Amino acid sequence: MNIFVILMTYGSPKTLSEVPHYLKNVYGGKDAPIETIKEFQRRYKVIGGSPLVKITQQQAIALEEELNKQKTGSMFHVAAGMRFSDPFIEDVIKNQAEDMDAIVGIIMSPQYSPIIMSGYVKELGNAVAKLIRKPLTLKTATDWHLQPFFLQAMAEKVQEALDTYPQEVRDRVPVLFSAHSMPKRVIDKEPDYINDLKETAAEIARIADLKKKRWLFCYQSAGHTPEEWLKPDFADIMPDLKAKGETHVLIAPVQFLADHLEILYDVGIGAREQAEKQGIAFKRTESLNTSPLFIKALAEVVKTTLE
């Protein structure tokens, strides 16, 4: 049996000149405000461009190797497909999945929100419906926020980061588990999504053996709109840490699976500036990227979804 696996995520512009077109896709075909375009171009320039597409493709290569190494009796083919930039989900399916017996879609977020992420499911379904081959099995992984290998891989990154601190501060550095903020109106309709994020953070803290008072769950990357966004943002927490006499902080994103704008700029630059403004030494955990444990987690997600 030939099985095609597609890793689906947001995407990113290849060059600064592609930013307007990329944002137009994100905005559903509407041109983004010129101020937004310029700000995104500035941020992408600061980080030297987003590596998200390249890393997701590397994850696909590693996952294909892992799945076929396990000798399940099926032959797996894995590729990356983006929602808002090349290579688009529809193009990847059309060009690579025609001869497959089954297709598995994985949204590259362990916590699933029907409101936020149903677009991936719809887009994949539409792409598969256009294929000539029939019948064809299609399954999409949704929630996998408690997948054991994923949690272990995240806890490993936390511990690796903590091990870089001097012995005298290592056991008391506050750890902030962050997730992308959302408008409150969205989450009011879908509280389970935030509960899953918090549950992920709690499990990672448990595996990493962090005492309860030592870690916090917070948000990052809130949009610049007048409506209410979820709090607390990491910027709100830094003054509190200073007031408590803390001198170090470690930020560990629990939702993002690869380096991209929200990691390299929002955390690596924005959070660092907020910490250092308060006289607090800043570090962040390394992203999972192609961590072997994380690739094993993705392989288990594929097999569970097929079952």
Q: Determine the Cα–Cα distance for residues 75 and 90; give it in Å rounded to an integer.
A: 22
User: What is residue 238's predicted lDDT score, i.e. its pLDDT?
Assistant: 95
Backbone CA torsion sign across 116, 261, 162, 174: negative
Peptide bond into 183 cis (omega under 30): no
In order along the chain (307 residues), what is the average pLDDT of each group of 10 residues?
Answer: 96 97 95 95 97 98 97 92 97 93 96 90 94 85 96 98 92 94 84 93 97 93 81 92 96 95 95 95 97 98 95
What phi and psi values does residue 259 have, to the nearest 5 degrees? -65, 135
Instruction: Name the DSSP class of 250.
Output: E
Beta strands 2-9; 75-82: pairing state: parallel
User: What is residue 224's predicted lDDT score, i.e. its pLDDT?
Assistant: 67
Which residues lie across from 138 on neighbouring strands? Answer: 103
Which residues lie across from 103 on neighbouring strands? Answer: 4, 138
Residues 160-183 as b or e (16 or more Cβ within 10 Å = b): ebbeebeeeeeeebbbbbbbbbbe
Tell me the C-alpha to C-alpha distance, in Å, between residue 140 and each of 93, 148, 286: 14, 19, 28
User: What is residue 184's predicted lDDT score, i.e. its pLDDT?
Assistant: 86
Tokens of 136: 């064809």
Closest by alpha carbon to 189, among 121, 111, 120, 114? 114
Tell me the C-alpha to C-alpha distance, in Å, between residue 42 and each of 15, 36, 45: 12, 10, 5
Listed in sequence order, the DSSP H helices in the chain are 19-26, 34-47, 52-69, 89-96, 114-129, 148-162, 167-170, 184-189, 191-207, 234-243, 261, 272-277, 292-306
Angle at 7 between CA 149 and CA 52, to 5 degrees: 95
Residues 106-148 have pLDDT tens digits of 999 999 988 889 999 999 999 999 987 777 899 999 899 999 9
